[in-house]
Chain A
Amino acid sequence: MSGFKVNRRDFLRVLGWGGASTALVGCDMPTTVTLEEGKEDVVAYFMPEEYVIPGVGVWYASTCTQCAAGCGIHGRVREGRALKLEGNPESVINRGKTCMMGQAGVQAHYNPDRLTQPLMREGGALKPASWEVALKKIAEKTASANGDRVAWLSGAVSGHQAVLINDVLNTFGSKQHFVHETIHASVWQAVARDMLGDAQPVLRMDKAKSILSFGADFLGTWQSPVHFATQYAKFRSGKRGVLIQVEPKMSLTGGSADAWVAVRPGTEGILALGIAQNLVKRGWAKGEVPAKLKEVLAKYELGMVANATGVAGDRIQRITAALKDHAPSLVLAGAPVEGGENGYDAVSAVMLLNILLGNIGQTIEPAAQFAEARMQARSGGTRGALEFSKLAAAKKLDVAFISHANPVYHAPGFMKMKDAMANVGFKVVMTQFPDETAMQADVVLPLYSAIEDWGTHVAAYNGGVATLSFQQPLMEPLYKDTRGFGDVALSLLKQRKPKEYAAFNDYYAYLKASVSNMPAAVAKGDKNKDAAWNALLQKGVLETKATVGKFKVNTATVAAVADVSADVQFPYRLLPSARLGLWDGRHANSPWLQESPDQISKVVWGSWVEMHPVTAAKLGVKSGDYVRVTSAQGSLEAQAYVFNGIHPEAIAVPLGQGHQEYGRYAKGLGVNPYAILNPVIEKKTGEVAAYATRVSVTKLDKSARLVHMGSSDTQMGRKLVSTIPATVYRRTEGEA
């Protein structure tokens, strides 16, 4: 290149002129562009259905099960194979949109590491078995079990699957159904229940003019991300709403905010009370402020709050003013707040802001719950696994059924789930993959993928419209020795109550009968059953009657929020951050999602330790250096990623990796921060305080290039996007 300089612009210009002719020179090279003849099979249909045209896709409606949000999907099927998933416009949850996890649903289906036949433990090892033998074994082992010595641990579940689990447990006389989800909003739900009288209020972002979000990553991982993303689009269109995100580590939502405020981890509740105090003091609070509340707020003066949270007093005043000026507002709390040891109090402080700002009834509306209680969503949290592990460890369980959950991986290390499960007499695991929990089972039953199975789903967060969303197979099962979850549950029921369930050959028959006979209180049952059923499947969703609640506002539960204690030995707070993509780790076996970069750090295929430049300088660490993160429970090692979007007192290690099993793509990759969580429990809800672990960091004598997309976090002076400092903006444009 010496002496002949071609810059990018010139290169493109030359290509533009000459490209059309020069590019064609190589186009006749048969060795590179033609294919071999007669090497590939092309099999014709034997006797095709009339509507089948090879090469032309047919779209079927179904429901996504990649997370618990319950989005409606359309699946494109061509030549008998499901090829592409998109959103179902009929679904009120996602209105025709999907997220990356939904798109990757086909990879959960075509994953080469799926279990293809039942496994049974023989002489300590899991060995292939037939369904008949496996089910017979289950019948034998469960014949004498009864009462609460039988338990079922599942992931979030709803619809007829929830009914079947309940029915199976009923045959034993057990009430022990535990629902475990690592990413949950159960503290938010508990606070909403106590302060508003409604656990799942509808959040109308589309009506709000400002949103103050305390770590609620509603565009990424909070409750129903696709639903909130469509709401958020409305919030930002027209007169653009203002989004202020307060959190210790930048989330996807934080990256989209107008103002991102780093807060000392664990003190979000104190900041919320500081804003509340500021609202009351400036006379901006709507409605009567009870004396007891004033008493609580009294000590949250700006100076004290600024000192505790690390957010300057004038900034707190600006946030308060922004909420008042851009009314109605909406104030949310997410994982970092819910996951604190003071989680309930902190979220209560956040909810109080909604009450003081007059958002109740404006941007927060009563929920419309699905009328049939048995089919309502059980969205779960970490308490389920905690209770299950305690029962198991105390040898109080003879039989455990585990479905759509992987507690051995997902439960925090301190629960010692693997050891606890060893004390359960007989463990049946129903799963699609050879995951960590399946490896501990006595019998493993391989399930259909979501694309092969039947089901009905009721979303925990439905955006104010109660619907039943149908899941139907998009294609024939890939493996003949796998079965649908509903079919397995029916087999278990038939073992116990053969007469009651004799009428149902399979889960399809059960669903069809059950949906057609739904009471009018839930949905008007059309008596022309076949036509109505086909129309339902075509549409994918059934709008149902809903029970709409009424708010009962109560601020009596608002209390002082305890400050987080400092610790010399463990100076940092560990943030086990989640992201849309790998989620809680269930999607670590999807290559598409592994190679989709983390939205903030852009790291692919691995774990990292995120820290602030100030922290990094103190430790003498730069991006790519290996560090050891140690808590009282243990330690882990990963490469550092130095980034401004995190509080200097926080260390973030993302969730999702560190699988010991779970197939070729997930196994042995990265680390799992849940392995070193301290056993801190949020007292009022019983949930694991996942963001309350303190850690120390030491630099290791090893460094490598951190694999992430994009080489630089700055624009390198190219002015791709013009920016001015906030101080200059304020001077020229006034307060905003």
Chain B
Amino acid sequence: MFYKHVCKLVLPPVLMFVSLLLISGAPARAELAVPPGVTPPVGTHAGEDVPQPIEFPHDIHVNINKINCMYCHTYARRSKVAGIPPTSKCMGCHKMIATDKPRIQKLTEYFTKKESPKWKKVHDVPDFVHFSHERHIKKFVFDADLPVENVEQVCGLCHGEIKAMTVAKKNKPLTMGFCRRCHEANGGPGDCWKCHK
């Protein structure tokens, strides 16, 4: 809401500037909001480009088509892993949509062969770290009464602004210090065994 408001106010005077930005190729978007009452973890990471079997465009799905993160990463609220969507789920839409695009044709090829693409893992923590998506979604979305359509703000705490990317890139360090700073600022558990078990 806040951003819409700001946009209305500042739009006319900077219209010219924004148009210039558009022309120069910078994306037209607002900075990702922080969920109310949350102190975001501090730290950035210059992630590598990770080539994927299909150059999946997060920007088209999230930024343009406004698809909720948890529509595809449906296990995030149910499990420790967010899960990569099953190939059948992709095809649920792409039997019809954008079938002329090379990426979709490649996807259809996988589907016909009854295979899943071998995606490359971008975000990971070591095996001795027990991280649960479910717990974090519960705390920051359901327990906090955050509207589910804003879940990207919570995802963004650790994954950054995915909607501005095609294939995901790691832009937060996901180190123990990064986790601990957020736990301390937002009242997360501090016992060693909560994560190392």
Interface residue? A33 (CB, 8 A): yes
**CB <8 Å contact, B124 and A55:** no
A40: chain B residues at CB < 8 Å are 120-121, 124
Q: In the complex, how many angstroms separate the beta carbon of A16 from the nearest chain B beta carbon?
A: 13
Q: Which of B45, B119, B122, B177 contacts A24 (CB 8 A)?
A: B177
Q: In the complex, how many angstroms separate the beta carbon of A155 from the nearest chain B beta carbon?
A: 36
Interface residue? A15 (CB, 8 A): no
Q: Which of B87-105 contact A (CB under 8 A)?
A: 87-88
C-alpha spacing A42/B88, complex, angstroms: 16
**Which candidate, A44-52, A237-245, A261-269, A481-489, is the interface stretch facing chain B?**
A44-52
Interface residue? A18 (CB, 8 A): no
**CB <8 Å contact, B86 and A46:** yes
**CB <8 Å contact, B86 and A27:** no
Interface residue? A38 (CB, 8 A): yes
Interface residue? B55 (CB, 8 A): no
**CB <8 Å contact, B48 and A44:** no
**CB <8 Å contact, A28 and B84:** no
**CB <8 Å contact, A28 and B119:** no
C-alpha spacing A53/B133, complex, angstroms: 13
**CB <8 Å contact, B51 and A38:** yes
B175: chain A residues at CB < 8 Å are 27-30, 33-34
Interface residue? B138 (CB, 8 A): no
A44: chain B residues at CB < 8 Å are 83-87, 116-117, 119
**CB <8 Å contact, B79 and A54:** yes
Given A45-B116, A53-B78, A37–B174 Cβ distance below 8 Å? no
C-alpha spacing A175/B163, complex, angstroms: 73
Q: In the complex, how many angstroms separate the beta carbon of B178 from the nearest chain A beta carbon?
A: 7
Q: Which of A33, A47, A55 contacts B81 (CB 8 A)?
A: A55
Interface residue? B176 (CB, 8 A): yes
Interface residue? B37 (CB, 8 A): no
**CB <8 Å contact, B121 and A41:** yes
Interface residue? A43 (CB, 8 A): yes
Interface residue? A716 (CB, 8 A): no
Interface residue? A39 (CB, 8 A): yes
**CB <8 Å contact, B116 and A28:** no
**CB <8 Å contact, B83 and A54:** yes
Q: Which of B83, B86, B118, B170 contacts A37 (CB 8 A)?
A: B170
Q: In the complex, how many angstroms separate the beta carbon of B191 from the nearest chain A beta carbon?
A: 11
Interface residue? B66 (CB, 8 A): no
Most buried by B among A37, A46, A47, A54: A37
**CB <8 Å contact, B125 and A35:** yes
Q: Which of A30, A35, A43, A46 contacts B114 (CB 8 A)?
A: A46
A38: chain B residues at CB < 8 Å are 48, 50-51, 120-122
CB nearest neighbor in A for B52: A38
CB nearest neighbor in A for B43: A28
Interface residue? B194 (CB, 8 A): no
C-alpha spacing A40/B120, complex, angstroms: 6
**CB <8 Å contact, A28 and B87:** no
CB nearest neighbor in A for B114: A46
**CB <8 Å contact, A37 and B48:** yes
Q: In the complex, how many angstroms separate the beta carbon of B110 from the nearest chain A beta carbon?
A: 9
Total chain B interface residues with beta-carbon distance under 8 A: 38
C-alpha spacing A44/B81, complex, angstroms: 12
Q: In the complex, how many angstroms separate the beta carbon of B55 from the nearest chain A beta carbon?
A: 13
**CB <8 Å contact, A43 and B177:** no
Interface residue? B139 (CB, 8 A): no
Interface residue? B189 (CB, 8 A): no
Q: Which of A346-388 contact B (CB under 8 A)?
A: none
**CB <8 Å contact, A55 and B75:** yes
Q: Which of B85, B114, B180 contacts A27 (CB 8 A)?
A: B180
Given A35-B124, A38-B50, A42-B121, A48–B86 Cβ distance below 8 Å? yes
C-alpha spacing A54/B78, complex, angstroms: 9
Interface residue? B109 (CB, 8 A): no
Interface residue? A513 (CB, 8 A): no
C-alpha spacing A53/B132, complex, angstroms: 13
Q: Which of B48, B115, B120, B180 contacts A42 (CB 8 A)?
A: B120
C-alpha spacing A35/B123, complex, angstroms: 8
C-alpha spacing A225/B12, complex, angstroms: 82
A47: chain B residues at CB < 8 Å are 86-88
Interface residue? A133 (CB, 8 A): no
Q: In the complex, how many angstroms separate the beta carbon of B152 from the nearest chain A beta carbon?
A: 21
A54: chain B residues at CB < 8 Å are 75, 79, 81, 83
Interface residue? A56 (CB, 8 A): yes
B78: chain A residues at CB < 8 Å are 53, 56
**CB <8 Å contact, A41 and B80:** no
Q: In the complex, how many angstroms separate the beta carbon of B120 from the nearest chain A beta carbon?
A: 4
Q: In the complex, how many angstroms separate the beta carbon of B187 from the nearest chain A beta carbon?
A: 16
Most buried by B among A28, A44, A48: A44
C-alpha spacing A35/B175, complex, angstroms: 9
A24: chain B residues at CB < 8 Å are 176-177, 180
A39: chain B residues at CB < 8 Å are 120-121
A35: chain B residues at CB < 8 Å are 124-126
Q: Which of B161-175 contact A (CB under 8 A)?
A: 170, 173-175
Interface residue? B47 (CB, 8 A): yes
**CB <8 Å contact, B86 and A30:** no
C-alpha spacing A37/B120, complex, angstroms: 8
**CB <8 Å contact, A30 and B173:** yes
A42: chain B residues at CB < 8 Å are 84, 118-121
C-alpha spacing A39/B120, complex, angstroms: 6
Q: Which of A1-29 contact B (CB under 8 A)?
A: 20, 24, 27-29
- Chain B 58-80 per-residue mask, 1 if CB under 8 angstroms from chain A, else 0: 00000000000000000100111
C-alpha spacing A30/B124, complex, angstroms: 12
**CB <8 Å contact, A45 and B119:** no
C-alpha spacing A191/B163, complex, angstroms: 77
A45: chain B residues at CB < 8 Å are 86-88, 116
C-alpha spacing A43/B116, complex, angstroms: 6
**CB <8 Å contact, A53 and B178:** no
B124: chain A residues at CB < 8 Å are 35, 37, 40
**CB <8 Å contact, B126 and A33:** yes
C-alpha spacing A35/B122, complex, angstroms: 9
**CB <8 Å contact, A33 and B88:** no
Q: Which of B125-141 contact A (CB under 8 A)?
A: 125-126
Apart from the given pairs A46-B88, A48-B86, 8 other A-B contacts in the complex at a CB distance below 8 Å: A20-B190, A27-B176, A34-B45, A41-B118, A41-B119, A42-B84, A53-B79, A55-B81
Subset of 16 A-B contacts with CB under 8 Å:
A29-B175, A33-B175, A37-B47, A39-B120, A40-B120, A41-B119, A42-B84, A43-B118, A44-B85, A44-B86, A44-B117, A46-B86, A47-B87, A48-B86, A56-B78, A56-B79
Which A positions have Cβ atoms within 8 angstroms of B?
A: 20, 24, 27-30, 33-35, 37-48, 53-56
Of all A-B residue pairs in the complex, the 7 with the closest CB atoms, nearest first, are A38-B50, A55-B79, A27-B177, A28-B177, A27-B176, A44-B84, A55-B81
